[in-house]
Structure 1
Amino acid sequence: MNQNTLYAESANISELTESFKKFFLNDSSESALQYRKLTNQVAGYISEQISTQKQAYSGKSPQALTTQIADFEMFPKDGTPLETLLEHTRDLIINNNISVYHPNCLAHLHCPTFVASLTAEMIIAAFNQSMDSWDQAPAATMIEQAFCNELCRVYGFDNQADATFTGGGTMSNFMGLLLARDHFSQQHYNWNIQKKGLPPEASKFRILCAEFAHFTVAQSASILGLGENAVVKIKTNDFEEEVSALEDTIFKLRAEGLIPIAYVTTAGTTDFGKIGQIGNLAEMAHQHGLWFHVDAAFGGALIFSEKHKYKLAGIHQADSVTVDFHKLFYQPISCGAFIVKNKQSFEYIRLHADYLNPESNEAFGILDLVYKSIQTTRRFDALKPFLSLQHIGTEKFGEMIDYTIALATSISDLLEADPHFELATRTQINAVVFRYLPEGEHSVQVIDDVNNAIKTQLLLSGKAIIGQTSVNGKAYLKFTLLNPMTEKSSIIDLLEEIKRTGLKEMLNN
């Protein structure tokens, strides 16, 4: 190959790589200018939509959206200028958006987000750091570990505890039961599941939980090779867990030749916001040699409330804890954490890869976080609650939690006093479950039908996004009052709208 050919190839390559630059954030002034322009454009669209959206949903019907999306070629050969594409995005996504900031968005554990955490999302996305190794996220690694250390302390654990960030409650609950399974096998049978697979006794393993525990307990058992039938659900008293019922179940299972290995308690059930007596349940579980996991995805934030933190008393006795930041901590999805009482428990999932966590790193004080997660690539999600709490402070944050619980209590009082409604149970946090009762005598089916119709009509009209659940086989509605910007008057107005909608449905029938 002569010199001229080399120069020609070099010129062609340079021209080619130059053509790629406009698609990436890079060190050129043009790229920086484009990034600022486009982020300002998107921020303007979002701000305008949120400030002008008068209903919880003001977008198109499912059928109209299906038609609009069908107009897009999902894998086009030729690209579209980003400015034009953002206009299309505005029409398709931003203008057809459920507003989590609207006071009538009440269906799920789906929260408005702090402005501080939105700025964190920009940093996370732009730098695209991965939390598996220090050389991909140096300062981020140190911040996450420091935050995890303090998180353990806040929940009452000592310096033997540790934590890791996860995608949310599903992943955290899975990790808790994974460690429970492996710990029990190692301690009782000297059996390393990592190396040898499930022990012969695994078919007899049982995971205990209350009847209203999150579905991820059964899901985790299935994925872990134990099967959903390994989950034993214990009846509750007014949706609350009882220590005596736990002990009775343990004795019953052992009498049948089965092997209880773990108990999962819920600090804030999804539907009712119930929290069991964590400390008493922990003592009973440990007395019988069970791993004790606390699913505090919903209620974990109460630890920052001076008025309500007592409801989490005993949480420090847990072997593992699930905490979700994208619920009552007001963080963008996804953002969760998993805490273990003994950091050595992470050895059950530890992996070694020379390219990620070589032993030589330790000599330089380099911390690689991959050893304590079943995820390899992870986002720097710790930045979101870190910046939020730095900005807001725990005192103001605690006031927000207190306000939403007070609001739920007040609305529950109104529902109990109104003959048009029936309250399912009193909440300990801010989930209010109730149903509309039409005047006169009606069958259960008629009452169920009208409550189902209320939820659907409010959704399709865009007036409100409210929850729907079943209690003892009957249809109920649900308010999840997470939003600290919601005023009591707006909920009162919504209750009146529910009455009007219910009456209209009865007349139509």
Structure 2
Amino acid sequence: MSASSIDAFVATTDPRSMAHLRTLVDDVLGLLAEAGSGRTGPVPTGGPAAARAYADDVLAEPLLPTAGGKPDDALRQLVEAYATWAVDVSHPATVARMQCPPATVAVAADLVVTALNQSMHAWEAGPFAVELERRLIADLAGLVGYGPDAGGTVTAGGSISNIMAMLIARDEAYARRFGRSAFHTGVAASGVRPVVLCTETVHFSVDRGASIAGIGSDGIIRVPADELGRMLPAEADRVLRELPADLLPVMLFVCAGSTDFGWVDPLPAIAEVARRHGVWLHADAAYGGGALFSDRLRPLFDGIAEADSVTLDLHKFGWVPASAGLFLTRDAAALDHLAAQQTSLNAADDVAEGFIGRYGSSIQATRRCDALKIAVTLRGSGRQGIGAMVEACHELSRFGAARVAREPRLELAAEPVLSTVLFRYLPERETDLDEFNSTLRRRLMRNGQAMLARVILPRPGGGKAVWLKLMLLNPATEPGQLDQVIDDVLAAGALLEAAAAS
């Protein structure tokens, strides 16, 4: 590759490089506009078979050829393909997953993060990025209700935040019990087995975290819950009191906004149980934490500041592009467990002189500055602006639930707490409801009409049942547009019924 080719390949702040980047960005924006112009729904029609056939066509040539072509042409070809079969997260019928339409300023900020390619692990890898994240963490810790001693880090998402919480809670428990962290000794050296307490309905990252932390899924103790799936504080207290001496409770894991119903465990009462038994309390508010911006919904989360740590995901209920997860802890000193290994990244003499990166606050080393897109979104909209959008989504879910409740062919699972609507179609003739609703959902997605989620929930009399879920995270969606989504569900259900009867 010639020197001139290298100059064109590498992004710099040189005016020629910036002009080249501007041309590419204009081209990309044009391709994005074209990709969405011919659609009638959130995704092209045809389902997985059509997506795979399209990929087979446009990716027929190897992605790693022996000799490359023109980088600009490769960009245009792959971006056009990527955008053609990307789900339009701003479409009113995109209601399946926790993918919010991102704020425009956050998208622009993400371009800056990529172009400047700073890293958070060392001061010399991103001086302003390091300071920005530190201040962002302080502000969001304040939103939770933590004081000036709080700490935390931006993460790749709620799963990573929950795993971090479990690792820190494990090390705290071992340090208190044995005077030395499990970071050094491992979990087997003590002769006791660590356990985590939670309900059946917590996020699957608990099982993954237990495996990574050396606790194992067999070390997860399920605490009984009420009929809504919320942890019963008296039962948590009983389980802790009755634990055998060879089991070491390292964490009480509670849900602050479940991904299906939005329910919040009784935080103040559980916090009292955790304090009584000296167990780390972690609150998973990955989805529900957006409600902390809302004066109207925030009371649902009273007591969250009593948790030792909290997970937030602003790429869910915060309109920041993924990833924008956060791990927050009431006492920043707990993060010392992650910094226990001295390396060139946190050498004592550099630290003494103020050259401090963010290596010691994360389980990652190299890490992009996702704090920038979060910061511009929050500063641009403020707490009240974000809160108003959260409330708009909440109101939309109430509208959707009311519409579902009026339809004789639909059954509502429960009234919305945050921004989800769970329901199912009830065919006129007796049939397997689980199979019917699963088929209905796939039909809507295959036809490109709507992207719906499916959840499997316990039946009152035992067993499990399939329900459909509307995850409403677009504050721009109008009630009439949500009506259309429900109309499409009813029409698809009627067609399935007719086909079954013929």
The aligned residue for residue 193 of structure 1 is 182
- The count of residues paired between Structure 1 and Structure 2 equals 491
Instruction: Quickly say closer, same or farther: Cα 1:103–1:85, change in 2 above 3 A.
Output: same
Task: Tell me, yes or no, if structure 1 residue 489 matches structure 2 residue 480.
Answer: yes
Unaligned runs of 5+ residues in structure 1 are 1-14
Identify the range of structure 1 (66-75 vs 135-144) with the bigger mean alpha-carbon deviation: 66-75
Shift of 1:255: 5.0
Checking the alignment, whether the CA contact within 8 Å between 1:265 and 1:293 is kept in structure 2 is yes
Partner residue, 2:496: 505
Q: Does residue 247 in structure 1 map to residue 233 in structure 2? A: no
CA apart distance, 1:399: 0.6
- Is 1:308 aligned to residue 336 of structure 2? no
Identify the residue that residue 449 of structure 1 maps to in structure 2. 435
1:172-214: CA deviation from partner (whole Å, max 9, x where unpaired): 0001010111110110122322222224456532201111100
- Corresponding residue for 1:12? none
The answer to which of 281-290 and 297-306 deviates more is 281-290
1:66, distance to aligned residue in structure 2 (A): 4.2
**Secondary structure, in 3 states, of the residue corresponding to 1:42?**
helix
Aligned to 1:136: 125
Q: Are 1:54 and 2:40 counterparts?
A: yes
Would the aligned equivalents of 1:202 and 1:226 in 2 still touch at CA under 8 Å? no
Q: CA 1:266/1:20 → structure 2, altered by over 3 Å: closer, same or farther? A: same
Q: Do the aligned partners of residues 377 and 359 (structure 1) sit closer, same or farther apart at CA in structure 2, a change above 3 Å counting?
A: same
Tell me the distance in 2 between the aligned counterparts of 1:38 and 1:432.
Answer: 41
Gaps of at least 5 residues in structure 2 are 459-463
Given the alignment of the two structures, is residue 410 of structure 1 paired with residue 399 of structure 2, yes or no?
Answer: yes
Cα 1:330/1:189, change in 2 over 3 Å: same
What is the CA-CA distance between 1:52 and the residue it aligns to?
A: 5.3
Deviations 1:204-226 (Å, cap 9, x if unpaired)?
32201111100000110011111
2:452 to 452, 466, 473: 466
- Tell me if the contact between 2:89 and 2:101 (Cα under 8 Å) persists in the aligned partners: yes
The change in CA–CA distance for 1:202 and 1:102 in structure 2 (over 3 A counts) is farther
Alignment match, 1:278: 267
Question: Whole-Å Cα distance in 1 between the matches of residues 201 and 122 of structure 2?
Answer: 38
Of 312-321 and 151-160, deviating more is 151-160
2:461: which partner in 1? Answer: none
For residue 285 of structure 1, report the CA deviation from its aligned partner: 1.7
Alignment check: 8 A CA contact 2:36 2:84 kept: no
Does the Cα contact within 8 Å between 1:59 and 1:95 map onto a contact in 2? no
Change (3 A) 1:392 1:27: closer
How far off is 1:70 after superposition?
4.6
Length-normalised TM-score, structure 1: 0.92
Percent identical residues: 27
Aligned with 2:94: secondary structure?
coil
Q: What CA distance in whole angstroms lies between the structure 1 residues aligned with 2:345 and 2:152?
A: 20
The residue that corresponds to 2:287 in the other structure is 298
* SS across alignment from 2:488: helix
The letter of the residue matching 2:10 is: F
Q: For each residue in 1:300-352, what CA deviation from the matched residue of structure 2 results, as whole angstroms up to 9, or x when unmatched?
A: 11111010111111111111110111100111111111011111111111145
Cα distance between partner residues in 1 of 2:2 and 2:86? 39
Deviates more, 1:242-251 or 1:92-101: 242-251
Q: Check conservation: 2:152, 2:335, Cα contact below 8 A.
A: no
**Counterpart amino acid of residue 252 in structure 2:** Y
Cα 1:371–1:91, aligned 2, differ >3 Å: closer, same or farther?
closer
Distance 2:244 2:354 in 1: 51
Are 2:127 and 1:148 aligned?
no
TM-score, with length taken from structure 2: 0.93
1:5 is matched with none
CA offset at residue 299 of structure 1?
0.7
Alignment of 1:480 with 2:466, yes or no, is no
1:134-189 deviations in whole A, cap 9, x for unaligned?
11111111111011111111211111111111101011000101011111011012
Mapped partners of 1:110, 1:361: distance in 2: 40
Mapped to 1, the partners of 2:136 and 2:293 lie a distance apart of 15
Structure ID, larger Rg: 1
Q: Are 1:23 and 2:40 an aligned pair?
A: no
Opposite residue 508 of structure 1, the aligned amino acid is: A
1:41 is aligned with what amino acid? Answer: D
